[in-house]
Structure 1
Amino acid sequence: MNGVGRDEAGGPPDPTVEFFQRIGQGRPAMLSDTVTATLRIELDDGGRTTNWFVSVDRGTVRVAAERRAADAVVRTSKEFFDRLVRGEANLFAALVRNAVVNEGDVTVLAHLRKLLTGMAHMQDPPWVNSGGRGRG
């Protein structure tokens, strides 16, 4: 990867890689200082599985591209996770439809949802989250 989530050829950013890079930069405001949990996200990309390990220790997030034991494991396709990251799909609705499978502590998914929702809003133009105010 070259830059934040960009591929070697300078193509468009990879939303999933960009998401993990952003949340791994410390203490996302959307997480409480009391949150401590681990999560492994397994993404199927055309028969190849990529693992992301997310560790939250009192609100501080660390991310590694590796397979480790975790409090919860989420499995989905890379394509669908990209949609979650971009705010085009809802994590809990996806669980009900089995587009996302969870194994382990389901409460950890509430923290993932906060991260997904927070990052999706950070990518929107300012007027999107202001009820239309400030739109030119």
Structure 2
Amino acid sequence: MPTATDQFFADLAQRGEEPLLRGSSGSIRFDIGAKGHVQRWFVTIDHGTFAVSRRNQKAECSIEADTDVFENIVTGKDNAFAALLRGAIEADGDPELLLLFQRVFSGPSRTTHPTAAGRG
């Protein structure tokens, strides 16, 4: 059964152009797991269009994260940049790419719209 991480990268590979990243290009390598058991994904962004592979090559930004931490990021339970700031993930290279890529991760789930609270 695929993990949330596997599903995230599979969906990303099938995604069309991402309007929020239309002006962005670059490459990010994700190394997910523990030492000795790392799964790797290589993502290129070309003006908002993604290509995903399992290549092990140098990228403009590389991200290392524990499996559980990354699962929380792709499911919207955690924020990638916040995880970076608290040391839960490591980034090397251009951190702006991680900040841009944050836009394609799921946001936190909400049961109600924030402006709907207090209405009655």
TM-score normalised by structure 1 residue count: 0.74
Q: Distance in 1 between matches of 2:96 and 2:79?
A: 16
Q: 2:79 aligns with which of 67, 78, 90?
A: 90
Deviation per residue, 1:40-97 (Å, 9 max, x gap): 0001247301110000111110101221110000001111100101111111211111
> Counterpart of 1:108?
97
Superposition pairs for residues 1-136 of structure 1, below 5 Å? 7=1, 13-29=2-18, 31-45=20-34, 47-116=36-105, 120-121=106-107
- Given that 1:26 and 1:62 are in contact with CA atoms closer than 8 Å, whether structure 2 keeps it comes out as no
- Given that 1:30 and 1:114 are in contact with CA atoms closer than 8 Å, whether structure 2 keeps it comes out as no
State the one-letter code of the partner of 1:90. N
What percent identity do the matched residue pairs reach? 25
- Given that 2:43 and 2:53 are in contact with CA atoms closer than 8 Å, whether structure 1 keeps it comes out as yes
Q: With CA pairs under 8 Å and 6+ residues apart, which has the higher RCO, 1 or 2?
A: 2
Instruction: Please list every run of 5 or more consecutive structure 1 residues that lacks an aligned counterpart in the other structure.
Output: 1-6, 8-12
Q: Which runs of structure 1 show a deviation greater than 4 angstroms over 4 or more consecutive aligned residues?
A: 127-133
Q: Distance in 1 between matches of 2:23 and 2:79?
A: 24
State the one-letter code of the partner of 2:53. A
Aligned residues: 117
Give the CA RMSD over aligned residues. Answer: 2.4
Q: Distance in 2 between matches of 1:30 and 1:132?
A: 27
Q: Do the aligned partners of residues 99 and 66 (structure 1) sit closer, same or farther apart at CA in structure 2, a change above 3 Å counting? A: same
Instruction: Please list every run of 5 or more consecutive structure 2 residues that lacks an aligned counterpart in the other structure.
Output: none
